[in-house]
Structure 1
Amino acid sequence: MSDRRVRRTKKVLKETFISLLQKKEIHRITVKEISDIADVNRSTFYNYYTDVYDMLDKLENEAIELLERVMKEYCTENDQDLISRAFFTELLRVIKENSSLFNLFFVDENGVKFAVKLQNLILTIPDYKVNYDKNVANYYVFSYIASGITGMIQCWLKNEMSAPISDVSEIMKQLMENNYDTCLQFRSRL
């Protein structure tokens, strides 16, 4: 099967699965149902996924990989402005472009697991990673920052991304700067 055909088949399976998850719980979705709606053989489904839970896990990893790419592009160890508005703008743009995928992970039981993965990803921003491991205050402040960003993204998606990306990215930038400054103040006290 050609790469183009594989991509198209996986795209149809993914879109079908996301559509079904918006209507019902995962334990009520069957491989047969996905295959029938996507108009592919069940064996084709099994070429890519072992079951619906494996498909969900792979979609979750795909979402995290999209965000990792943004971080790698904007957050390097040599970058002096790791919390730039451009970084948050691009992060939100990617989320909006793939909103059906990201909405999937910020609902019900999927949200908790994905939020933890996203928070852990945020904690790998190079400057935060370096300082995160150095003292107790940093550990708590950086965890707070990561939870806050995750919560803002969740809220933005829940409100159907009605606030402009430029506004939300500016809020994120300001909150990150203010909390990072707080962390520096704690460092001198502990």
Structure 2
Amino acid sequence: MNAKGDANRSVRMTKQRLYQALITLLQQKSLREITVRELTELAGISRGTFYFHYADIYALMDQMEAAQLARLNDLMDSLIPSISQEDAPPALVALFTYMTENPDLCQALYGKSWESEFTRNAKKLIAERCLGEFAPDGGTEEQKYMLAFAVNGCFGTIVAWQEAGFQPPAAEIARITWQAIRAVKGRM
């Protein structure tokens, strides 16, 4: 592999170590309580390397959240057209499976502070995508409230599911969530 490829791999590995360290620390404390020193020590990199990639911890968190929001947006592309089908779509099962495979990340983003900036942005993305699809004219007040209920219910389900140790299995929680989503959609 050429030097440029090695450098890219090195950058990816460094960022992955920083992501993992941040996720670990977010499970222990809030973002504003985390220092660059403890983050870099946990990641096993120098402070200079950190500052080469990020202006501060908030920039790292923004990048991590942006990647997760992009993933969620892609998921919405699969879910919205599936709303009429009775069975939970594979994309929703995949989301819950991803959560069971990445519990630390999900705990950091959706866990104890589920009203974080990330979840507010995720809820907004979902609500805008759904409202645009199901009520292209902007929707009535009732539709907006029903959608808010559904979106917040989904996030509440995620938190409860995490607290229950990711039980029932991903396919079953996807089925339960899908039934609730379809029930609200039926009223819109």
Q: Which category describes the TM-score, using the shorter chain as reference length?
A: 0.7 to 0.9
Structure 1 match to 2:168? 163
Percent sequence identity is 23
Does the aligned pair in 1 maintain the 2:40–2:46 contact within 8 Å?
yes
Moved more, 101-110 or 44-53: 101-110
Q: How does 1:34-53 map to 2 (within 5 A)?
A: 34-53=39-58
Does the aligned pair in 2 maintain the 1:67–1:94 contact within 8 Å?
no
Q: How does 1:117-132 map to 2 (within 5 A)?
A: 117-125=121-129, 128-132=131-135
Q: How does 1:9-28 map to 2 (within 5 A)?
A: 9-28=14-33
Structure 1 match to 2:181? 176
Does the aligned pair in 1 maintain the 2:96–2:171 contact within 8 Å?
no
Does the aligned pair in 2 maintain the 1:18–1:100 contact within 8 Å?
yes
Q: What residue identity is the alignment partner of 1:50?
A: A
Q: TM-score, normalised on structure 2? A: 0.82
Cα separation, partners in 2 of 1:122 and 1:25, compared to 1, 3 Å: closer
Q: Please, what is the CA RMSD of the aligned residues?
A: 2.3
Structure 1 match to 2:35? 30
Tell me how far apart the structure 2 counterparts of residues 103 and 90 of structure 1 sit (CA, whole Å): 17
Q: CA deviation at 1:31?
A: 1.1
Equivalent residue of 1:23, what SS?
coil
Mark the runs of 5 or more structure 2 residues left unpaired by the alignment: none
Cα separation, partners in 2 of 1:89 and 1:49, compared to 1, 3 Å: same
1:124-177 CA-to-partner distances (Å, cap 9, x unmatched) read: 445x42334132221111111111111111211222212111211111111111
Structure 2 match to 1:115? 119
Tell me how far apart the structure 2 counterparts of residues 10 and 174 of structure 1 sit (CA, whole Å): 38
Q: CA deviation at 1:12?
A: 0.8
Q: What residue identity is the alignment partner of 1:90?
A: A
Structure 1 match to 2:76? 71
Structure 1 match to 2:107? 103
Mark the runs of 5 or more structure 1 residues left unpaired by the alignment: 184-190
Q: TM-score, normalised on structure 1? A: 0.81
Does the aligned pair in 2 maintain the 1:105–1:111 contact within 8 Å?
no
Tell me how far apart the structure 2 counterparts of residues 17 and 144 of structure 1 sit (CA, whole Å): 31
Aligned match for 1:85, one of 79, 84, 88: 88
Q: What residue identity is the alignment partner of 2:73?
A: E
Does the aligned pair in 1 maintain the 2:96–2:170 contact within 8 Å?
yes
